[in-house]
Amino acid sequence: MESFDESHHLNKEILLIDDDPNITSSLKRLLQKEYLINVANNLDEAYSCLQQKEYSLIILDFDLKDTSNGIEISNYIQDISPLTYKIMLTGTNEFRVVKKAINEGSINYFLLKPFEAKRIKNIVIQGIERYNTNKRLYSFLSDANGMNSAKKFIKSVIQDKFQDQNIVNGKYYGIIISKGSLPVYSNFEGNGVFNQFPDTLFAGFMSALILVGDEVFISTDKVNQLIFDNISIVFKYFNNYQISYIIEIPTDEISYDLDIELDRFRDLMQKELLDDPGFFTKIKQKELIIIDYLKGVKDYFQ
């Protein structure tokens, strides 16, 4: 079996998507010595390129002429190649554009035109490294031995955190709403074990647990669950987000009523995002909305 740290062939193919040939020509000249460059100067060419191969990194324009904006194609890239690193270019510095691209398009990096050659080269280096690291991890976890090793490591780290904790059965502890492994909102009650986790670490653990296999979590007709020791994390997905409730309750007691509450909260969050794409960027100002939505779930346990 290959170890995760063993060197792999690096994917260094980049796709440039911009309807301004001057931009794509400039970027190609800048990067072609170190990378394999492909160019698409319209939406049709972009989709054609994307259907032929997977790219380690894509630089795309926000203001494509043959679409309302670059978010449409960014979402397509996310669906077919979620590990690809995406850099979005724009000629505007309006904050609403940045928020829209990040919230809706799963963009890794947002860059204003005109861009500095040195800066974009550094961003590309980081993006290529990120893609290839994630690709190696994906390959490692695809191997049964690698997956088992990852499961044991992640579970041991989390279980260590829960040792000697006096936790009462049937309790609601809190919630994390995350986008990938990045939390956008969290709310924990009291000062228990969960408050000892940095939000990013805890959300990363949850995402990793989901990633490494079906023996770690249980998917019933009602909810998905992550289980370790006497703690359950029940979760639902919507768009690119994951709502995770941290509870203590036996697996066979996850009821139809709880599932209804989880779906209700998911649907309400979906509506908020549709009404206001920047909802989670302003979440602290809307804390009472979240708490109100959670009331049914809290009441279920308390």
Residue ranges, the chain, pLDDT below 50 = 1-8, 213-214
Domain assignment present for 60: yes
So what's the pLDDT on residue 16?
Answer: 96
What is the DSSP-derived secondary structure letter of residue 11? Answer: P
150 and 112 in one domain?
A: no
So what's the pLDDT on residue 1?
Answer: 38
Domain assignment present for 183: yes
Q: Are strands 182-188 and 241-248 parallel, antiparallel or unpaired?
A: unpaired
- For residue 18, the domain's CATH number is 3.40.50.2300
CA nearest 202: which of 168, 245, 236, 258? 245
41 and 167 in one domain?
A: no
Domain assignment present for 6: no
So what's the pLDDT on residue 7?
Answer: 45
61 and 49 in one domain?
A: yes
CA nearest 120: which of 144, 92, 89, 148? 89
Domain assignment present for 3: no
Kindly report each contact of residues 32-35 with a partner whose C-beta sits within 8 Å and lies 24 or more positions away, as own/partner.
Answer: 35/124, 35/128
The secondary structure of 69-87 as a DSSP string is: -THHHHHHHHHH-TTSEEE
Q: Report residue 38: phi and psi, to 5°.
A: -115, 145
Domain assignment present for 104: yes
290 and 237 in one domain?
A: yes
Could you tell me the residue range of the domain that residue 186 belongs to? 144-301
H helical segments located in 163-248: 199-211
Domain-terminating residue out of 142, 172, 196: 142
Cα separation, 262 vs 161, whole angstroms: 26
Domain assignment present for 53: yes
Cα separation, 168 vs 244, whole angstroms: 20
So what's the pLDDT on residue 266?
Answer: 85
115 and 62 in one domain?
A: yes
161 and 59 in one domain?
A: no
Token pair in block for residue 77: 């890239």
Cα separation, 136 vs 3, whole angstroms: 9
Domain assignment present for 4: no
Q: Is 88 helix (H, G, I), strand (E, B) or coil?
A: strand
158 and 109 in one domain?
A: no
- For residue 197, the domain's CATH number is 3.30.450.60
Q: Domain tally for the chain? A: 2
Domain assignment present for 221: yes
CA nearest 59: which of 95, 85, 81, 83? 85
220 and 89 in one domain?
A: no
Q: In percent, how much of the chain has pLDDT > 70?
A: 66
Cα separation, 26 vs 11, whole angstroms: 22
So what's the pLDDT on residue 123?
Answer: 92
CA nearest 156: which of 219, 205, 197? 205
Domain-terminating residue out of 107, 124, 142: 142
So what's the pLDDT on residue 38?
Answer: 96
The secondary structure of 112-179 as a DSSP string is: ESSPPHHHHHHHHHHHHHHHHHHHHHHHHHHSHHHHHHHHHHHHHHHHHHHTT----SSEEEEEEEEE
> pLDDT for 129-161, tens place per residue?
888 887 877 777 677 777 677 667 766 666 666
Strands laid side by side in the 85-90 sheet: 36-40, 13-17, 57-61, 85-90, 109-112
Domain-terminating residue out of 124, 142, 160: 142
CA nearest 280: which of 238, 246, 245, 226? 238
104 and 168 in one domain?
A: no
Cα separation, 78 vs 239, whole angstroms: 11
> pLDDT for 204-255, tens place per residue?
666 555 555 445 555 556 667 776 666 777 888 777 788 888 777 665 666 6
Cα separation, 34 vs 21, whole angstroms: 21
57 and 33 in one domain?
A: yes
166 and 113 in one domain?
A: no
182 and 69 in one domain?
A: no
